[in-house]
Structure 1
Amino acid sequence: MSRKIKLLWDFRGPDAKETAKHHTIHLKEFATLEKLAFFEIDIEEKNPMLFSAFITVDEKDMKIYRDALKPHRGEIG
């Protein structure tokens, strides 16, 4: 069974939430255009001035996403 990888992009400042929300649109567009599978695309709040946009993908597809989209970090799970 393959692992799930969560790729994250961090946004800071008073507009972080809206920027992270907007970034999810581009993540969905990329996955659709490239016909790539994903499990979830959403945002998460670390604090009111730090939000992350993320996409959770299968480990086998992680390098495609990573190389094309340059996430700030990744997590297993």
Structure 2
Amino acid sequence: MGKKIKLIWDFRGPAAATTAEHHEKHLKEYVAIEGTALNITGHHNVNDMLSFAFMVVEEKEMIPIRDALKPHRGEIYET
């Protein structure tokens, strides 16, 4: 298995937490439909005005998934 990449979508404002939680549901749907190699998704609340949703993909899958879903940023995923 190669590197794992964490794709991240940032949400700001008073509705950030609920938006990130909702966005994760869509990411889970994408994983189920597309059958990605990994099934790691989540959301995290940084503070009252900043939250993010994420999914982890294998490096070999990253470019087509990035192009399809347009994340705001990405980083190497380390467990």
Distance 2:39 2:31 in 1: 11
Q: SS of the counterpart of 2:46?
A: strand
Structure 1 position 64, deviation (Å): 1.9
Superposition TM-score, scaled by structure 1 size: 0.91
Task: Give the AA of the match of 2:34.
Answer: E
* 1:67 and 2:67 are equivalent in the alignment: yes
Q: Percent identity?
A: 55
3-state SS in 2 of match to 1:33: helix
Aligned residue number for residue 30 of structure 2: 30
- What is the distance in 2 between the residues matched to 1:72 and 1:23? 13
For 1:40 and 1:31, locate their aligned partners in 2 and report how far apart those are by CA, in whole Å: 9
What 5-or-longer segments of structure 1 have no aligned partner? none
SS state of the match for residue 46, structure 1? strand
How many corresponding residue pairs?
Answer: 77
Moved over 2 A (4+): none
Partner of 2:3: 3
Q: 5+ residue gaps in structure 2? A: none
CA RMSD of aligned residues (A): 1.1
* Residue matched to 2:16: 16
